[in-house]
């Protein structure tokens, strides 16, 4: 016997010190922030309070993007295209969606973030990344 049960629970996560700055910049100014690690000499995007590599504290956030390079991509069964994007000025890749174009993407191609009109302070304030020329290749 198989029983199907729903689980329906609302969660509310505190973004915390650095991620709050990151999300507020997305929402209010359509800016993408990253944090430099002074010890590793890398710039981590999205901004976070400690370096994922060495564990040390990060420095004051800096602007990266909004243009960047497509690192890799895959098309999901529901038709959305998931991508790793290396924003200009950052040393780590951001997971996001690709938008527009004819569905033909090539690793290494140039991209640009497209921001939504009404933004709420969430990573989805970036609607997706599109070809820097405004369309797919």
Partner 1 sequence: MRSVAVVGTGQTKHARRRDDVSQAELVREAADAALADADMCAEDIEAVLIGNMELFEGRGLPELWVGGGAYGTGKPVMKVATGGTSGTSTAIAAFHQVGSGLFDRVLAVGFEKHSEGHTQTGMALTDPFWDRAVASGALGNFALSVSQYVAAGHATEDQAALVAVKARRNAARNPHAHLQMPDLTVDEVLASKMLAHPLRMLDMCPQSDGAAAIIVASDAVAREHNPRPAWVKATATRHDQCYIGDLDRRLLSMRTLRDASAHAYTQAGITDPVRDLDVAEIYEPCTYAELAWYEALGFCEAGEAGRLVEKGVTSMTGALPVNPSGGVLSTNPVGASGVIRVAEAACQIHGRAGQRQVERADLALATGYGVYAWADVVVLGSEP
Partner 2 sequence: MNDRVERLDVPILMDEAWHYASGEAMERFSTGLAARRIEALRCDGCGRRYLPPRPMCGNCRLRMTHWVAVDDTGTLEAWTVVHQPILDGRTGEERPSPYGMGLIRLDGADTTVNHFVQTGGPRRQGVTPPGPPLFIGQRVRAVWREELRGAMDDILHFEVVEP
Residues 11-70 that bind partner 2 (CB under 8 A): 11-15, 17, 19-21, 23-24
Cα Rg, the chain, nearest whole Å: 17
From CA 118, how far away is CA 19, in angstroms rounded?
20
Q: Segment 10-49, which members bind partner 1 (CB under 8 A)?
A: 10-19, 48-49
Q: For residue 135, what are the CA distances in angstroms to 12, 89, 115?
A: 36, 23, 15
CA end-to-end span of the chain, whole Å? 51
| 77 near partner 2, rule: CB under 8 A | no
Query: Of these, 100, 101, 116, 121, which contacts partner 2 (CB under 8 A)?
Result: 121
Question: If contact means CB under 5 to 8 A according to the sort of partner, which of partner 2, partner 1, none does residue 78 touch?
Answer: none
Binding residue for partner 1 (CB under 8 A) from 28, 29, 38, 54?
54
Residues in contact with partner 1 by CB under 8 A are 3, 5, 7, 9-19, 48-50, 52-55
């Amino acid at each position: 016997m198989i029983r199907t049960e729903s689980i329906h629970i609302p969660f509310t996560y505190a973004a915390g010190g650095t991620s709050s700055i990151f999300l507020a910049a997305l929402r209010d100014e359509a800016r993408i922030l990253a944090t430099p690690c002074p010890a590793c000499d890398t710039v981590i995007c999205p901004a976070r309070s400690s370096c994922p590599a060495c564990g040390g504290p990060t420095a004051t956030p800096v602007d990266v993007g909004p243009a960047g390079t497509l690192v890799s991509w895959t098309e999901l069964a529901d038709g959305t295209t998931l991508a790793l994007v290396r924003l200009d000025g950052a040393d780590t890749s951001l997971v996001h969606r690709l938008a527009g174009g004819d569905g033909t993407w090539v690793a290494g191609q140039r991209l640009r973030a497209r921001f939504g009109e009404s933004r709420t302070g969430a990573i989805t304030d970036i609607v997706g990344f599109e070809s820097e020329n405004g369309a797919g290749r």
